[in-house]
Structure 1
Amino acid sequence: MRKLTANLFISLDGVVEAPSTFMRPDLYGDIPEEYIAEQDTVLMGRKIYEEWSQFWPDSKIEPFASFINKHPKIVVSSTLRNLEWRNSTLLDGDLEGAVRKLKAQPGKTIGVHGISLIQSLLLAGLVDELHLTLVPAIAGRGRRLLDHQGAAIQLDLQNSRSTPRGLECLVYAVRR
């Protein structure tokens, strides 16, 4: 079974929305390349698709530009009808069932992006790992990933690494 990993930049105060507002440009070079090397499919929500499809097709920021443009992108949306970005497919309908089928297919890790989508999949028990890049900044405002009502979600630290400029790269497995 394939793993589903959520990949997020997170500020010290827990904000994951608009990391470009709290992530310094000099820190991008510290992001672990293995996060994307493990993936062969990207699952994203509508908002991320709309933002990224305007930026990444012409971007020269490597290694992510080559990765995101080359690999399949599955977009979760009930409102989009036409996907212009190369290698993009629309997923409209039963999200949990479709993700379970996707995870059962052969392949490498599926990376998931988009706050609402990650929250839904995490609460549904479909996220296997959280790859959090803790940024040494206090965002002050913005959406937080882990703001939910309900039972606690237990995590087990799988890996941690500090970078020379102060990022903390944390990999947590979701305990079942």
Structure 2
Amino acid sequence: MRKVTAGLFSSIDGVVQAPNEWQFSFDEEMGVALNALLAEQDAVLLGRVTFTEWAGYYWPTSTDEPFASWINSTQKYVASSTLDSVDQWSKSTLIEGSVTDFVAELRAQDGGTIGTAGSPTLVRSLIAADLIDELTLMISPVVAGGGRQRLFADDSALTKFSLAKAQPTSSGVIIATYRPTK
């Protein structure tokens, strides 16, 4: 069975939306950790917002940086009930029907790790369906404040995790990997 992971940038107050607005540093240790996460993945799940932002950025046409080469050559599965097509970006497939059923079926196939990039709504639904094996948060030492989406809503159900590993970085970020507790 394939592993499903999620990696998100988070503020200390739990904000995961628009990290470009509040994450002020990206250090070498964060780069090493992200590269290790990506090296395991041969598929990535994206929500509609993340997909449209990234597809509208220069990722689909860029070849001059490592992330662009990786994301362009990796199979992308897009969870959306409003998009009609994801054909504008190669190796992208629109998930039709139940996202959790699709991910459960994909997880049962042979292959590497299935990663989830950004997409907090998608991550929440996968956690609720018991489909996330690891959640990695890069917690920046900043309070991002209100008006932004947090990973978990105030009325989220009690869900227990255990800490698999944690690493502080030179910029004060904590890279914490959690596993759901069964």
Note whether the superposition's TM-score is higher than 0.5. Answer: yes
Unaligned runs of 5+ in 2: none
Structure 2 partner of 1:21: 21
Q: CA deviation at 1:60?
A: 6.3
**Counterparts of 2:65 and 2:14 in 1: how far apart (Å)?**
26
State the partner residue of 1:168: 174
* TM-score, normalised by the number of residues in structure 2: 0.89
Q: Which residue is 1:116 aligned to?
A: 121
Instruction: Determine the C-alpha separation between the residues in 2 that align with 1:13 and 1:158.
Output: 21
Sequence identity of aligned pairs in percent? 41
Alignment of 1:46-125 (within 5 A): 46-55=48-57, 56-59=59-62, 62-83=65-86, 84-113=88-117, 114-125=119-130
Q: Distance in 2 between matches of 1:60 and 1:20?
A: 22
| Secondary structure of the corresponding residue to residue 52 of structure 1 | helix
CA distance in 2, matches of 1:148, 1:106: 37
d(CA) in 1 for partners of 2:65, 2:144: 25
Consecutive unaligned residues of structure 1, counting only runs of 5 or more, are none
TM-score normalised to structure 1 length: 0.92
Question: Which amino acid letter does the alignment assign opposite residue 170 of structure 2?
Answer: P
Deviation at 1:164, TM superposition (A): 1.3
Of 136, 141, 151, the residue aligned with 1:136 is 141
Counterpart contact for 1:11–1:134, Cα < 8 Å: yes
Task: Confirm or deny: 8 A CA contact 2:134 2:177 kept in the other structure.
Answer: yes
Q: How many pairs does the alignment contain?
A: 175
What CA RMSD, in Å, does the superposition of the two structures yield over aligned residues?
1.6
User: Aligned partners of 2:64, 2:165: CA distance in 1, in Å?
Assistant: 26
